[in-house]
Copies of this chain bind each other. A is one copy, B any other.
Amino acid sequence: MSDLDVHNLLASHNLRCTRPRVKLATLLFADGRDRHVTAEWAADALAKEGDEVALATVYNTLNSFVEAGLLRQISCQEAGRQVFDTNVEPHHHFYNEQTGELTDVPQNAFRFYKMPAAPDGAEIVDWQVTVTIRPH
């Protein structure tokens, strides 16, 4: 993903093109890989490249990205810290209980022939599976 692509990505999501946003968008989206990151991880990764960004700005930016639909906030495992997922499509996760690492599982890796009905007065809007795995 080129500088221009990052610029377009931000612009097309109504996000002003600022240094912290360009750096973070490049870090998170440039290679198209799925990532599950914390604010601290992102701040450290930028710092290692010499691109210091205030931690408050990292939080602000990640939250803006969520609001813009570029990131999704996930809250499975590791209670106590927010994790941001670069994959905003519906999908599931492997959770490695040794390392805490999350890995994507495609939506269609599960096929159910029985699902619970929604409780009265409610509708199902989403479902996601967390598969806990253990290295052996």
Interface presence of A31 (CB below 8 A): no
Out of B96, B113, B126, which one reaches A113, CB within 8 Å?
B113
User: Cβ of A86 < 8 Å from any Cβ of B?
Assistant: no
Kindly report which residue of chain B lies nearest to residue A105, judged by CB atoms: B116
Number of copies: 2
Please, how many angstroms separate the alpha-carbon atoms of A125 and B136 in the complex? 11
CB distance from A75 to the nearest CB of B (A): 4
- Asked whether any CB of chain B lies closer than 8 Å to the CB of A129, the reply is yes
Binding site for B on A (CB under 8 A): 73, 75-83, 92, 94, 96-97, 103, 105-106, 109-116, 118-119, 121-136
- A-B contact sample (6 more), CB < 8 A, given A76-B130, A119-B133, A125-B134: A110-B114, A111-B112, A111-B113, A123-B136, A126-B132, A129-B129
